[in-house]
Homo-oligomer: A and B are copies of this chain.
Amino acid sequence: MDILMGVGRAGLKSGGKPDILVVLLPKTCNASFVFTGNHFKSASVLYSQSIFKGKVRALVINSGNANCGVGKDGLLHAELMAKKVVERLELEEDEVLVFSTGVIGKPMPIGDVLSAIDSACEVLEPLDLKRASEVISTTDRFPKYDFVKKDKLEVFGFAKGAGMIHPNMGTMLAFLFTNADLSVDVLEMLHREVTESTFNSISVDACTSTNDSFGLISLGVYKEEDVQKVRQAVEEVSLNLAKKIVQDGEGATRVIKVTVKHASIKLKARLIAQSIATSNLVKTAIFGKDPNWGRIVAAAGSTPFPIDQFKLKVYVGNHLLYDGKVHPRAVEEARKYLQESTEVDIVVDLMEGKESWTYYSSDLTYDYIRINSEYTT
């Protein structure tokens, strides 16, 4: 009952590093997939979206080329990549999904890619999460994978992503597997919920990519009655992978965790948390180790939702900086806290209701500018 993987080299990444990954599931599995909300989509996303019907048997993923912005050729190339796997592994055509990540607008050297898929299908070995993440990585500095076991229940997965990260979603791919036997309906429900609180609550640069895809696959090994338990495990793995992506955010030196508490409604908590987490001024202040609560409240005020500026509270770490007036000594303590922390906690308490939301982002640094002004399509 092993998940198998095969690796190939199509020359899409510099240095001839592995750039083709084929994942073969032990049987046809129920699955749920979420794709980027960007309307300018990779042809691979368009292809996979169009053929996916809740069942999957194999994945073929290339890194180093986004298969995006290359006209209708891209659709043909995605189809050829899937067909090659179908043919080599004798599968059904609508059970093989295609994913791509990398540079936009570069034609895919399809001959080389198909040969590399051929070799990948030649030698299949048990799925190694770390190795799988490495093969699909682009600008990532470290592989991203996670595994959770609770009694009989197992949830595990691998992901990639570092730049163009923003809800709906970033240039990220994430594939989660569970041994629990779940229907497509349950998978989709779980998946939608978990996506919102994890991969859709992270941002590196507020830029939504063309290629993001996040899959949840049920291997159907045993019946798990406790759906909440599955949900928790899936959320745990998803959140861990999402946080690793933020931690690996281009140029990032710190993870910023923004929690908005006691909002009247959830959407308000979420949009205010997002506004703070994605503010360039907040992100540069954190890079500068400056507990600049003025920028935090300015960002909190920049959503369609009114806030009571004389009542709300702002914490950095455990330090209450503002509650209608400033606390200068706490500001100095927060400055020390920022010097010592690589995960920075910002809490805004709206003091009005019961809803809360947490959003993760990274600081904005010289290295972000260097990486993104020197990297070329």
Contacts and interface: CB of A to CB of B under 8 A. Distances in A.
Interface string A324-337: 11100000000000
Determine how many copies of this chain the complex contains.
Answer: 2
A209 interface: yes
Given A40-B300, A372-B280, A372-B288, A71 B295 contact: no
A309 B377 contact: no
A40 B307 contact: yes
B206 A326 contact: no
A205 interface: yes
Interface in A68-82: 68-73
B306 A39 contact: yes
Given A301-B38, A369-B287, A376 B322 contact: no
A341 interface: no
B373 A298 contact: no
Contact of A69 (B288, B293, B306): B293
Q: A66, A168, A292, A306: which has the most chain B beta carbons within 10 Å? A: A292
Contact of A284 (B107, B168, B288, B369): B369
A13 B372 CA distance: 35
Contacts of A178: none
Contacts of A105: 293-294, 322, 326
Contacts of A298: 38, 40, 104, 164, 207-210
Q: A39, A279, A299, A322: which has the most chain B beta carbons within 10 Å? A: A39
Nearest to A210: B298
A281 B376 CA distance: 11
Nearest to A106: B326
Contacts of A107: 326
A69 B322 contact: yes
Contact of A39 (B41, B287, B307): B307
Interface residues of A, number: 66
A101 interface: no
A209 B368 CA distance: 24
Given A40-B309, A209-B298, A302-B207, A369 B364 contact: yes
Interface in A299-318: 299-303, 305-307, 309-310
Nearest to A282: B207
A302 B208 CA distance: 6
Contacts of A166: 302
A111 to B, nearest CB: 19
A272 to B, nearest CB: 10
Nearest to A251: B369
B372 A41 contact: no
A345 interface: no
A23 to B, nearest CB: 26
Contacts of A293: 69, 105, 377
A306 B37 CA distance: 10
A284 B326 CA distance: 35
Contacts of A364: 280, 369
A205 B301 CA distance: 16
Contacts of A369: 284, 287, 364-366, 368-369
B305 A39 contact: yes
8 contacts: A40-B309, A70-B325, A71-B325, A206-B280, A281-B372, A284-B372, A287-B373, A364-B369
Given A39-B300, A290-B375, 4 more contacts: A69-B322, A105-B294, A166-B302, A207-B299
